[in-house]
Amino acid sequence: MQVTRNTFNDVMVPNYAPAAMVPVRGEGSRVWDQENNEFIDFAGGIAVNVLGHCHPALTKALNEQGNKIWHLSNVFTNEPALRLAKKLTDNTFADKVYFANSGAEANEAALKLARRYALEKFGEDRSEIIAFKQGFHGRTFFTVTVGGQPAYSDGFGPKPGHIIHSEYGNLDMLAEMMSDKTCAVMMEPMQGEGGIIVPDPAFVKGVRELCDKHHALLIFDEVQSGMGRTGKLYEYMNLDVVPDILTTAKSLGGGFPVGAMLTTKEIAEHLKPGTHGSTYGGNPLACAVAEAVFDVVNNPDVLNGVLKKEAIFREHLNRINEKYNVFSEIRGKGMLLGCALNDEYKGRAKDFMVAANNHGLMCLVAGMNVVRFAPSLVIPDEDIVEGLARFEQGIADIVAEK
C-alpha cells in the first residue's frame, strides 16, 4: 500500500501537524525520507533516540529477544526486566523499580505512589501536590494537570484537585505554599518543554530542604534530562540532591517505548499488590532494548563525550549568533540545548524549525521562543558541524525575509 503525507489528513486524528516529509529510514544521526532526501537529526524523537537510529547494540538486543519471548503480563516476571531493574538500582539512589510504557505513565505511578504514601503515613488531609509553572509531566489528565502549562490541560472539564503551582526558581514562593497538607513536590531538575531552563543549584537544594522540613516527598521528573543527556546518568547527580522518587523514560528505551519509576524501599512498600499496574509495563522486548541502551550509555567515555559535544555545539552556535544576532542566549546542558530567540524574533521558534528542516536538519521547539536540540549522545562531531551549517542556512533565510 502506498501512503504519503496526505494520507495522514485522511486517516489520522488531527491533534498533530507533522512535517511535509515522511521519514522512512535512519542510521546513526542521519534520516532519509520517501524521496531519499537526507536529514541530520538533532531532534532525536524528542530526546528519545539517545544512541541515534538503528544502533547495532539495540537492534541486536531487539532481534535476540524477539526470537525468545515478547510478552507475558505481570502475572509473571521476566529476565530482561529483572536485569534492567538491577542495573538501575545498582547505579542510582533507588532500591526499587516500577516499569511502565512512557514518561507519562511513570509520572502517573509516581504521583499515585506519593498520594498513597502520604495517606497511609499521615492521613487523608495530606494530599496536596505542588509542581511548577511551565513544567511538563505528560498527557494523562493527572500528569497534564500537574504540569504547569494550562494550554495543555484546559478544555477537558474539571481537573484533578489538590494541585497547585509555584514559580520555577522562586524558593520564597514555594516556601509560602508548602504546609502540612503538602504530599509531594514534583519538578524537572531541568525544565524541557518549558524552554530548556537550567535552575540555580541552590534552588534545587532549597526545594529538597523544604520537602524534608514538611515531610513531603520530592519527585524528580527526569524523563527528558535522564539517561546521560546532561553528562551524568541522571541530572540529580550533577546537583548533589537526591529525590525520593525519580521517573525516567524517553532515552531509557532509545526509541522503544519504556518508562520507569525509581524509589526507595520504604516508599515503595506503599504500592502493595493490586494498587497499581500496567499490562505492558516491563515487557521483555522493551526491557531487553533498554538494558542494551543502559549498557552503552553508562560508560565514562560516552558520558564524558556528551560535554565535549556540547562544547562543539556552543562554539558554532555562538559564531552563528555573532553573524546573525537572533538568539538572546544558548541554554541547557549536554545534549539538551535551547536557542532562546531575542526580542526581534520572539514567538518564531517554529519558523526556525521549519527553515532548518528545509535545509535538511531535524530539530525541535520548546515553546514559541526556543529552538531545541536533543540529538544522540554519540552523534559524530562531523554531523554536529554539518547540522549546524544547515541550521545556519535556515537562519539566513529567515533573516533575509526581514
Q: What is the pLDDT of residues 298-348, one digit of tens each?
A: 999 999 999 999 999 999 999 999 999 999 999 999 999 999 999 999 999
pLDDT at 248: 98
CATH code assigned at 370: 3.90.1150.10
Statement to judge: residues 206 and 184 lie in one domain: yes
Q: Any catalytic annotation for residue 351?
A: no
pLDDT at 378: 98
The C-alpha torsion from 248 through 249 and 251 to 257, rounded to 10°, is 160
Q: What is the pLDDT of residues 67-104, one digit of tens each?
A: 999 999 999 999 999 999 999 999 999 999 999 999 99
Instruction: Look up the pTM and report it.
Output: 0.97
Statement to judge: residues 19 and 70 lie in one domain: no
Domain boundary among 276, 297, 318: 297
Domain boundary among 281, 297, 313: 297
Phi-psi region of 332 (alpha: psi -120 to 50; beta: other; left: phi over 0): left
From CA 310, how far away is CA 330, in angstroms rounded? 11
Q: Any catalytic annotation for residue 136?
A: yes
Statement to judge: residues 190 and 284 lie in one domain: yes
pLDDT at 10: 95
CATH code assigned at 192: 3.40.640.10
DSSP β-ladder status, 217-221 and 245-248? parallel
Contact 17, 33 (CB under 8 A): no
Q: Any catalytic annotation for residue 244?
A: no
pLDDT at 181: 97
Statement to judge: residues 46 and 113 lie in one domain: no
Statement to judge: residues 270 and 244 lie in one domain: yes
Q: CA distances (Å), 118 to each of 114, 243, 270, 306, in order? A: 6, 16, 9, 38
Q: Which of 221, 309, 352, 373 is catalytic?
A: 221
Place of cell 494550562: 150
Give helix 56-66 / helix 284-297 axis angle, nearest 10°: 150
Q: CA distances (Å), 228 to each of 200, 303, 305, in order? A: 20, 6, 10
Statement to judge: residues 274 and 305 lie in one domain: no
Statement to judge: residues 95 and 202 lie in one domain: yes
Share of the chain above pLDDT 70, in %: 100
Chain mean position to CA 356: 22
Q: What is the 3-state secondary structure (H, E, C) of the chain?
A: CCCCHHHHHHHCCCCCCCCCCCEEEEEECEEEECCCCEEEECCHHHHCCCCCECCHHHHHHHHHHHCCCCCCCCCCCCHHHHHHHHHHHHCCCCCEEEEECCHHHHHHHHHHHHHHHHHHHHCCCCCEEEEEECCCCCCCHHHHHHCECHHHHCCCCCCCCCEEEECCCCHHHHHHHCCCCEEEEEECCCECCCCCECCCHHHHHHHHHHHHHHCCEEEEECCCCCCCCCCCCCCHHHHCCCCCEEEECHHHHCCCCCEEEEECHHHHCCCCCCCCCCCCCCCHHHHHHHHHHHHHHCCHHHHHHHHHHHHHHHHHHHHHHHHHCCEEEEEEECCEEEEEECHHHCCCHHHHHHHHHHCCEECEECCCCEEEECCCCCCCHHHHHHHHHHHHHHHHHHHHHC
Statement to judge: residues 41 and 156 lie in one domain: no
Q: Which of 232, 250, 309, 333 is catalytic?
A: 250
Domain boundary among 297, 321, 353: 297
The burial class, CB within 10 Å (0-12 / 13-18 / 19+), for 307 is middle
Statement to judge: residues 32 and 129 lie in one domain: no
Name residue 115's amino acid. Answer: R
pLDDT at 363: 98
Statement to judge: residues 135 and 244 lie in one domain: yes
Q: What is the pLDDT of residues 249-273, one digit of tens each?
A: 999 999 999 999 999 999 999 999 9
Q: Which of 39, 99, 136, 142 is catalytic?
A: 136
Task: Domain of residue 349: give its range.
Answer: 5-54+300-401
Chain mean position to CA 248: 8
Statement to judge: residues 274 and 209 lie in one domain: yes
Average pLDDT, 10 consecutive residues per value, the chain (402 residues): 95 94 97 97 98 98 98 96 98 98 98 98 96 96 94 92 97 98 98 95 98 98 98 97 98 98 98 95 98 98 98 98 97 98 97 97 97 98 98 97 80
Statement to judge: residues 226 and 321 lie in one domain: no
Q: How many domains does the chain have?
A: 2
Copy the grid coordinates of residue 69. Answer: 519471548
Contact 134, 191 (CB under 8 A): yes
